[in-house]
Chains A and B, each alone.
Chain A
Amino acid sequence: METQQSLFISSLQEPETKEKAFKRLVQEYKERLYWHIRKLVLDHDDANDVVQNTFIKIHLNIDKFKGDSSLYTWMYRIATNESINFINSKSSKMGLQNQEWIEAKANGLKADSYFDGDEAALILQKIIAKLPEKQRIVFNMKYFDGQTYESMAKILDTSIGALKASYHHAVKKIKSQLND
């Protein structure tokens, strides 16, 4: 018996029903994917570019989706990769390392009209920006998105043990910086 998800995937892959199903997909997932991306790239305009690129990629590649993971896991993975590629591209164009570029963005958050956090939130974002890329992604997904290690393992194609280690190190560094 086909599940609701597999029926939805079929409608996304059938030419006659694709556009209608894709519209529903966008309605359903745009906010979740946007916020995941936003926490990685920090800036709203950048997140806007990445989320649109993500959905275009989803639209172009949905026919290749084999269903070996959930649809959301697959889309989340695309969003994560698009965010990383975006950061790579932007930092490379400016002659910076990825982390340097992200730290510069975090330092500019106070003046950002789309940042409404208090001093504590600002400090936290600056500290998160100093984390290595993997730790930053894992921390954002675990702490802010409330993802489980199991779902993160599928999205990031990393073992649960490695994810736990990443999160542990991230929390340790953040606590140490906050105490300083």
Chain B
Amino acid sequence: MTDFNTKNPFKIPENYFKNLEDSLLKNAKSISYSHGFTIPKDYFNTLEEDILHKAVKSNSFSRRKIAFGIATIAATLAVLLNLSSIENSETIIEDQAFNDYIESYYLDNSDGYEILSMLEEIDMGQDFEDYNKKPK
């Protein structure tokens, strides 16, 4: 039985594939240049070097930009934290001063009965309980 898989029945002209390659390359070239544009000699050789050089340079520049950005953010946060802690301590001092003022106002301007009436009942109840628990 004839082995159809190993015997190719089709023939081609001599040097067909070599000629095909040349023809394809020639056509490709003619397509590229039919628009009339030309380039300097060895342009594509130097282009590669230029691109690689610039790409590495732009990459290291962008890394430095990122590092600078992080440093700036860290410094800004540090300044803001310091400012807020100063503000907080000032707020505490201000609140305390305000409380002292209120206290002294009432003490100076109210008699005993008025002060007593300001206390809530539950507080008074607790006060008396505590008083009763104290050893006599």
Contact = CB atoms under 8 A, between A and B. Distances in A.
Interface of A: 19, 22-23, 26-27, 30-31, 34-35, 38-39, 42, 44, 48, 51-52, 55-56, 59-60, 109, 114-118, 121-122, 124-125, 144, 146
Given A22-B55, A35-B32, A56-B54, A30 B37 contact: no
Nearest to A53: B54
B47 A51 contact: yes
A39 B33 CA distance: 11
Contact of B38 (A26, A55, A116): A116
A11 to B, nearest CB: 15
A117 B36 contact: yes
B51 A116 contact: no
Contacts, number: 75
Contacts of B33: 116
The secondary structure that dominates the B interface is helix
A55 B48 CA distance: 10
A31 B37 contact: no
B52 A22 contact: yes
The contact size tier of chain B is: 20 to 34
Interface in B5-42: 31-40
A114 B37 contact: yes
A55 B56 CA distance: 11
Given A34-B39, A114-B39, A144-B34, 11 more contacts: A23-B52, A26-B52, A27-B48, A35-B32, A39-B37, A55-B55, A60-B62, A114-B37, A115-B38, A117-B35, A125-B35
A117 to B, nearest CB: 2
A56 B35 contact: no
B35 A114 contact: no
Contact of A114 (B40, B50, B52, B55): B40
11 contacts: A23-B48, A27-B48, A44-B39, A55-B51, A60-B62, A114-B39, A116-B38, A117-B34, A118-B36, A122-B36, A125-B35
Contacts of B31: 144, 146
B51 A52 contact: yes
B95 to A, nearest CB: 52
B44 interface: yes
B48 A116 contact: no
Contacts of A48: 43, 47
B36 A116 contact: yes
Contacts of A22: 52, 55
Nearest to B62: A60
B51 A121 contact: no
